[in-house]
Amino acid sequence: MGRSVSYPTGSVVAFRLLDDGEEDDTDWAYECLVEEVIDTAKATFPSFERFDGWRGREDRILLRNAFADCGISTYCGLAAI
């Protein structure tokens, strides 16, 4: 069994590649994706508030409301949102 990008059990997940062909820009691509996820989720669900936390060691929580967490995990250029 191989290793893959982590996400919490029972999550609704979308996957996206971070690679845009430039290895030097991976950190920049990650930060842009994080901001895009935050902006889009808050526009769609205004009850989300920014949250800086982790579920386990790999799943970063970006936003939270009374009903859900919204987060991101990455592994080898693949992001789970």
Measured in whole angstroms, the distance separating CA 37 from the mean position of its chain's CA atoms is 7
Q: With respect to residue 5, please indicate whether it lies within any of the assigned structural domains.
A: no
Smallest Cα–Cα separation from 8: which of 59, 63, 74? Answer: 59
Q: With respect to residue 10, please indicate whether it lies within any of the assigned structural domains.
A: no
Q: With respect to residue 4, please indicate whether it lies within any of the assigned structural domains.
A: no
Mean pLDDT of the chain: 92
Q: With respect to residue 8, please indicate whether it lies within any of the assigned structural domains.
A: no
Q: With respect to residue 9, please indicate whether it lies within any of the assigned structural domains.
A: no
* Between 17 and 1, residue with greater pLDDT: 17
Per-residue pLDDT reduced to its tens digit, 10-47: 999 999 998 766 666 888 999 999 999 999 999 999 99
Q: How far apart are CA 32 and CA 80, in angstroms?
A: 15
Q: With respect to residue 1, please indicate whether it lies within any of the assigned structural domains.
A: no
Determine the 3-state secondary structure of 21 from DSSP.
Answer: coil
Which pLDDT score, from 0 to 100, does residue 20 have? 62
Determine the 3-state secondary structure of 59 from DSSP.
Answer: strand
Please, are residues 63 and 69 in contact by the beta-carbon 8 Å criterion? Answer: yes
Q: How far apart are CA 53 and CA 62, in angstroms?
A: 7
Range of the domain at 32: 15-80
pTM for the full predicted model: 0.87
Q: Number of folded domains in the chain?
A: 1
